[in-house]
Amino acid sequence: MKISDKEMTHLAELSGLTLTKTEMTNLQQDLERILEYVSQLNEVDTEGVEPTYQTFDLENVTRADVPIDYGVTKEQLLALAPEVKDGMIAVGGVL
């Protein structure tokens, strides 16, 4: 199963990854092999089969509309961000 260079660039873009040429080539080969392997599933006739949303047959897992204290502060969470400015997570400009 072949993946074109163009498809690789597109996938990298969608995934927000910047890859070197070597990484690109390696990944391309890996992905091709993975797809090759998974494509065996195409032999199964899935006509009329529902997609799997649940493997434990769970349904209606809901909660009441009441605020929950998760025991973690805004400061603790913001400390996870590489950069913080004015109480907000600062990232490279996207405009």
Partner 1 sequence: MKNNKYEMTIGIECHVQLATATKLFSGAKNDSREAVPNENASPIDWGLPGMLPVLNERAVELAARLGLALDAKINLASRFDRKHYFYPDLPSGFQRTQLYEPIIGEGLVELPSGGKVRVEHAHLEEDAGKLTHVGEKTLVDLNRAGTPLVEIVSMPDMHSAREAREYCQELQKLAIYSGASDADLYHGNMRFDVNISVAEPGAKKLGTRVEVKNINSFKAVERAVEYEFKRQVGLIEKGEKFGQETRGWDENKQKTVSQRSKEEAMDYRYMPEPDVPPVRLAEGFVDGVRAEMPVLHTVLRHEFLKIGLGEAVVETLLDNHGLALRMHEVVGETDAKTAKRVADWFSSVWLAAEVTSTEIPSVAQLLELAEMVAAGELSSTAAKEVLLKMSVGSPRAVAEKLQLLQVSDEGALEEMVERVLALPAAAKAVADVKAGEMKALGFLVGLVMKESKGQANPGKVQGIIKSKV
Kindly state the smallest distance separating residue 69's Cβ from partner 1, in Å.
8
Nearer to partner 1, 1 or 88 (CB): 88
Binding interface with partner 1 (CB under 8 A)? 10, 14-16, 51-55, 58-70, 72, 74, 77-78, 80, 83, 85-95
Nearest residue to 1 (alpha-carbon basis) of 50, 49, 52, 39 = 39
Kindly state the smallest distance separating residue 59's Cβ from partner 1, in Å.
5
Nearer to partner 1, 44 or 66 (CB): 66
Nearer to partner 1, 43 or 86 (CB): 86
**What is the rounded distance in angstroms from the CA atom of residue 89 to the CA atom of residue 74?**
11
**What is the rounded distance in angstroms from the CA atom of residue 8 to the CA atom of residue 17?**
11
Using DSSP, state whether 77 is helix, strand or coil.
helix
Kindly state the smallest distance separating residue 36's Cβ from partner 1, in Å.
20
Long-range CB contacts for residues 65-72, cutoff 8 Å, separation at least 24: none
